[in-house]
Amino acid sequence: MPLLDHLAELRRRITIAAAAYVVAAGIAAVFYNHELSFLQHPYCQVDPHHCGLYVTGPLDPLTLRVKLAAFGGLVLATPVILWELWRFVTPGLRSSEKRYAVPFCVVAAAFFVLGCLTAYVTFPHTLRWLIGVGGSSLHTLLNPNAYLSLILVLMFLFGLAFEFPVVLVALELLGVVSPATLLRSWRWAVLGITVCAAVLTPSSDPFSMLALLVPLVAFYFTAIGVGKLGLRIRGA
């Protein structure tokens, strides 16, 4: 395909993905109250009797609604975005490789949601540690924008990090890297995952870091096994 055709195809895929995101963000905005209650629940687990969120500025409620709509739209539109990404890549693949399109999109979307849920489940421990680290003489009064920024960033980063095994398996099936190479490099991989887990944890608490580190290490070795199995099936 000529370069101009590639650019036209890229523009088409970006347009569809952007339209899907706008629609998904609109849907998320409609269910704003449900999203806010869902995200506030970890705080209520830490302090059931004083888990209210207090705004300190007239624009905070609007900022909050826009923020939740943007994040909810990203979660809802993830399958479409991944599908359009795959459709842009597939013209350069062999027909035997194109059959992985639907499984790739489904698994990638599922792992993104799994990462978000992992951050959500871990967040009460994170919040309890962050509140307690200052000592018992401090009284907590949380601003919803600061609180939701932290939990949404954690959920997004966890969701993004959980795409790691999907990318590894895809690289193995495409022949970019072999399972044997990944297995030989496992020590450096674990070290790199540890550093990334520390850097990608904005709260700098041990619970979030471990909640990210342990699954990623397990995913690394699982991806090696899945890659071996996939190559064996393809070669059979």
**pLDDT tens-digit series, residues 119-133:** 999 998 888 888 877
- Report which of residues 45 and 136 the model is more confident about: 45
pLDDT for position 167: 87
Query: What is the share, in percent, of the chain residues with pLDDT greater than 70?
Result: 92
Nearest Cα to Cα of residue 71 among 130, 153, 131, 16: 153
pLDDT for 191: 92
CB contact at 8 A, 228 and 173 = no
Give me the residue spans of the domains in the chain: 3-235
Cβ–Cβ under 8 Å, residues 81 and 163: no
Q: Which of 207, 123, 214, 114 is nearest to 159 (CA)?
A: 114
User: Which is higher by pLDDT, 92 or 160?
Assistant: 160
Average pLDDT score over residue span 154-169: 89
Given a cut of 60, whether residue 38 has pLDDT beyond it is yes
Closest CA to 170 of 101, 235, 92: 101
